[in-house]
Amino acid sequence: MERVSATSAHPPAMRGAAAGFVAGAVGLGISELLAGLVPGVPSLVTAMGSLVIALQPPGAKALVTGLFGTADKTALNVAVVVVALALAVLAGVAGARSFANGWRILTVVGFVACLAAVVQPLVSPVPAVVNAVIATAAAVGTLRFLLVGAAALPIPGRVAAGRAAPGAGAAVMPDWDRRTFLLRSGALLGGAVVAGGLGRLLVQRAHPAAPPVAVRLPAPAGPPPALPPGSSLDAPGITPLVTPNGRFYRIDTELLVPQVDAATWQLRVDGMVDHPLTFTYDELIGLPLFDQYVTLECVSNVVGGDLIGNALWTGVHLKAILAEAGIRPGATQIVGRAVDGFTVGFPTSWALDPSREPMIVVGMNGSPLPAEHGFPARLIVPGLYGYVSATKWLSEIWLTTMEAFNAYWVNLGWAKEGPILTGSRIDHPADGSSLAAGPQVIDGLAWAPDRGVSRVEVQIDGGPWQAAELARAISRATWVQWELRWAATAGSHSIRVRAVDGTGQVQTGTPGGPAPAGATGYDEVRVTVR
Ligand SMILES: Nc1nc2c(c(=O)[nH]1)N[C@H]1C(S)=C(S)[C@@H](COP(=O)(O)O)O[C@H]1N2
Ligand SMILES: [Mo]
């Protein structure tokens, strides 16, 4: 008899699951709203996403298209929310049988979120803990409210319902009908979604991509290098020679754009140097600045992909800074460390080669460096993939040996050295497009930073490789536009492209990569001519 009544006192698993889902949503919604409203309070969703990134096993990144491009970041945030809600559903189902298990699961989730936030380099612990505690309490409270209402769950701390004797203080909440349960759950869920959505909006607004408005750069010593005449082709569908800041690809491990305060930021130069140096932002931009076009590519860029851009960078000569610090003999590696702990590493010999000018960049295409591209300062080293060279939100330049240190992505299985492979891309015609028979233009880009591109060749339907017309390159460190006039005949055609670098080396045709050292193979489009 007692057993029967106890069982009937439990809500069905469905109601438990629904209560758990709503409880999870309320916790997430409140935590996100707090993060959006109160400066310094971290987003727990972002923190858990960052923990996932930090804990990824070597090689995991090969599964995603880029080293955390914009789409990956969204997918990761969504995945975190889905997993958190799934655990909350579990807590609801468990809580419907024994509330203690329900709140324990929610508390563990809250604790993990708290931990995830506290270990973030850019997060202060107290607001993180406060947010996690409030969010967990809100989730537990919601779960209890819904479970009690749904099924006369015994109120914890009082006499269990099943054994309640009349008049002994047995307190059971009214067993709501189905409609009441749905209405209350729905209202809470709606509130949670609004709070969470608003919170996310505010969080993102607090992490803009643009540079801080107050910052102004002094003019570089000389006028900006003019684009050489003939460097831009007037060809259909061709990618602009210079990539506008807003269209420059973004790849990094940060789920929210770091906002670094230039007033307190410092750049250290240390390690195997004679004189460790420190620069404030004003000191850095007070040094002689110069401009340079450099094409930057991500090692994760696939053949035909768009994780590549070309910008006019403004900055300080890295060689001058290194000379001032005095590199000690044997310091074979230069490590760039970011405010968030991210690192790159490249050979000192690459940086010191007289043929190139690595830079500590403070400006991009005539504006201060946008936050999403590394404000206040980043490294740009001609000829190297971003993951070994282009530290954004730079905080330290550390001299060490090649053997003594592996940078962030090297530890995760990517090549220790990352010279950009010779590449080429067909921008027009687009793959799968249809064209009119007659004169057509095939065009695109080719790059081999900083060996330069000496030739681009196009192959139609497996025929001979034909030399394309090259635009004038800005420099060997930049990509170059190319075009080929083509008398298109009716039918289906395949078009391939390959580049030859400045040393005469032909682009590798065997498809491979991108891991561990960059993608190989020729870009190909198929078109129908009518
Ligand atoms: N601090 C920091 N710097 C970073 C990264 C990062 O994750 N964190 N990613 C690197 C990689 S993999 C690339 S390809 C370039 C991309 O620079 P962009 O986002 O300005 O295009 O930044 C590099 N610098
Ligand atoms: Mo990258």
Q: Of how many residues is the chain composed?
A: 530
User: Which residues are found with C-beta within 5 Å of the ion, ligand 2?
Assistant: 67, 251, 298, 386-387
Q: How far is the CA of 251 from the centre of ligand 1 (A)?
A: 5
The reply to whether omega before 429 is within 30° of 0 (cis) is yes
Architecture of the structural domain at 423-529? Sandwich (2.60)
- Choice from 387, 388, 414 to test ligand 1 binding pocket (greatest atom count within 8 A of CB): 387
SS3 265: coil
pLDDT attached to residue 59: 61
> What confidence tier does 160 reach under pLDDT thresholds 50, 70, 90?
very low
373 lines ligand 1 (CB under 6 A): yes
342 lines ligand 1 (CB under 6 A): yes
- Mean pLDDT computed over 440-463: 98
Cβ neighbors of 151 (< 8 A, separation 6 or more) are: 9, 10, 11, 15, 96, 175
pLDDT attached to residue 11: 63
Structure confidence by residue, pLDDT tens digits, 336-348? 999 999 999 999 9
- Mean pLDDT computed over 357-385: 97
Q: Which two tokens stand for residue 71?
A: 């789409």
Q: Whose CA is nearest to atom 16 of ligand 1?
A: 251
Q: Which two tokens stand for residue 290?
A: 């110069």
- Mean pLDDT computed over 435-462: 98
- 44-54 and 125-151 helices cross at what angle (nearest 10)? 110
Spell out the domain ranges in the chain: 3-205, 245-412, 423-529
Which is the closest atom of ligand 1 to the Cα of 392?
A: 3
Which is the closest atom of ligand 1 to the Cα of 298?
A: 14
The C-alpha atoms of residue 287 and residue 310 are separated, in whole angstroms, by 24
pLDDT of 392 > 90? The answer is yes
Structure confidence by residue, pLDDT tens digits, 308-341? 999 999 999 999 999 999 999 999 999 999 999 9
The C-alpha atoms of residue 34 and residue 37 are separated, in whole angstroms, by 5
Q: Which two tokens stand for residue 424?
A: 């080429």
How far out from the chain centre does Cα 428 lie?
Answer: 28
The number of the ligand nearest the C-alpha atom of 336 reads 1
pLDDT of 125 > 50? The answer is yes
Q: How far is the CA of 390 from the centre of ligand 2 (A)?
A: 9
> What confidence tier does 190 reach under pLDDT thresholds 50, 70, 90?
very high
Q: Which two tokens stand for residue 199?
A: 């919170």
pLDDT attached to residue 439: 97
Q: How far is the CA of 300 from the centre of ligand 1 (A)?
A: 11
Q: Whose CA is nearest to atom 18 of ligand 1?
A: 250
- Choice from 56, 68, 247, 251 to test ligand 1 binding pocket (greatest atom count within 8 A of CB): 251
Amino acid at 244: P
pLDDT of 154 > 90? The answer is no
The C-alpha atoms of residue 443 and residue 432 are separated, in whole angstroms, by 15
The C-alpha atoms of residue 284 and residue 426 are separated, in whole angstroms, by 40
Which range among 65-69, 118-122, 233-237 has the greatest average pLDDT? 233-237
Q: Considering the entire predicted model, what is its pTM? A: 0.90
> What confidence tier does 162 reach under pLDDT thresholds 50, 70, 90?
very low
Q: Which two tokens stand for residue 243?
A: 């990539």
The C-alpha atoms of residue 462 and residue 465 are separated, in whole angstroms, by 8
> What confidence tier does 150 reach under pLDDT thresholds 50, 70, 90?
confident
**Out of 195-199, 434-438, 485-489, 514-518, which region has the weakest mean confidence (pLDDT)?**
514-518
Domain 245-412 has what CATH class?
A: alpha beta
The number of the ligand nearest the C-alpha atom of 394 reads 1
Cβ neighbors of 232 (< 8 A, separation 6 or more) are: 240, 241, 471, 481
